[in-house]
Structure formats: C-alpha cells, structure tokens
Amino acid sequence: MGANKSFYLFKNKKKSGVYYAQFLDPKTGRILHRSTGSKDRDQAAIITAKWLAEGVPTRGKAKKPLAEIMRQDLRNFGISLRKRLAGKTVNNIVLPGRVALRWAFNEKMIPEDITAGLGGYSGDEKKRGILTDGEMEKLRNAVYWENKKAFCAFMLSSTSALRMEECLALRRSYDKNMRLSGIV
C-alpha cells in the first residue's frame, strides 16, 4: 500500500477472479485481507471505500450476545426451520447450537441451561418411493426403455448396487491385447 493509497486491490485466481482488498483496519491498526465478492475492479474499489468509511464487516459476529439468547428463541428457530425441513434435518441443524449452549452453561458463561428439557423435532419423513417387485420386473424388460444406454445403466446399477455417479464414472478400457480390462 502506497503512502497516498488507503487500500490495495488484487485478484484471487483460485476464487474465480474475485477481487480482494488489503487495507489497514482503522479501529485495530491491523492489516486486513477481505474478499469484496466482486469480479469488477471498480465495484470492488467502491465496496472497499465504503468499508473504510462505515466500518469493516466482521467475520462471524453474533447478532445477539450469548447471555441474551432465551429458550423461546431456540423454539422459534426450530419452528421456522420445521416449516420447510424434515424433523430429522431440523434436529441435525439445531444440535450443534444446543451442545454449544450446554457447554456455555457448564462453563458458567450463561446463568441457566436453556436447552434443558427441549425435545427434538419429529414429523412425517419423506416417502422413499421404493419400487415394488412388479415395477422392478417391468423395468427389467428392455421393451419399456426408449434409450438403450439408460436401460443398460439401470441394469448395471440394479444388479451391482452402483449409484448413478458411479455408473457415469465407468469407462471402457482395453489392454494391449484388445481385451476389455475394466474401469479407468
């Protein structure tokens, strides 16, 4: 950074050409590197100038202090997730927060264990749509398939338990005697 320039912009080639800013944090006096999220240099300069004028965004800053989180906040969060996600998924999302809050209580960082007695979320799970024996028999008949490659992939996956991505990754290869030698 030059004497007359308050920040320096550079492209990160690993991140699809997004501009990063290097500047001196006015509050701490430390040199910071932040992604502007922009691939346009002029836009990146505007973003950086705004940071310097209005304050540098912080990473991972909580919107609410730990001591102010209440039991009802946890319930509301779970309910809002439950409106669009399955119960098991909500439980997987909420669990790390519960563990962290329980740890904070055990370490005397918060006055009470607001996670005590909170139950998990349940409800209807997604129907898996497992094929019946009759449906499988129909699918094993080549007459029902317009695309013979799709039929071949189906037969391979249903008899070998390969997933779609594994079937797509298969490639034909031959050894020096022109014998089929397996997967590349």
Give the pLDDT confidence of 147-164 residue by residue, as tens digits: 888 888 888 888 888 887
- The per-residue pLDDT for 60 is 59
Mean pLDDT score of the chain, rounded to an integer? 79
Could you tell me how far CA 55 lies from the centroid of its own chain? 28
- The per-residue pLDDT for 2 is 44
CB hemisphere CA count around 81 (13 angstroms): 19
- Supply 168's token pair: 């797509």
Question: Which of 112, 41, 71, 129 is CA-nearest to residue 7?
Answer: 41
Angstrom distance (rounded) from CA 180 to CA 51: 61
Which single residue is written with the structure tokens 């740890």? 103
Reported confidence tier of residue 5, pLDDT bands at 50, 70, 90? low
Angstrom distance (rounded) from CA 122 to CA 1: 55
CA angle, residues 24, 43, 34, in degrees to nearest 5: 35
Largest separation between any pair of C-alpha atoms in the chain: 78
The predicted model scores a pTM of 0.40
Q: Is the pLDDT of residue 9 over 80?
A: yes
Q: Is the pLDDT of residue 16 over 80?
A: no
Angstrom distance (rounded) from CA 132 to CA 105: 51
Do the Cβ atoms of 9 and 40 come closer than 8 Å? no
Write the pLDDT tens digit of every residue in 83-121.
888 888 888 888 888 888 898 889 888 888 988 888 887
Residue 19 backbone phi and psi in degrees, to 5: -80, 135
Residue 62 backbone phi and psi in degrees, to 5: -70, 145
> In sequence order, what are the residues at sequence separation of 6 or more whose Cβ sits closer than 8 angstroms to the Cβ of residue 135?
none
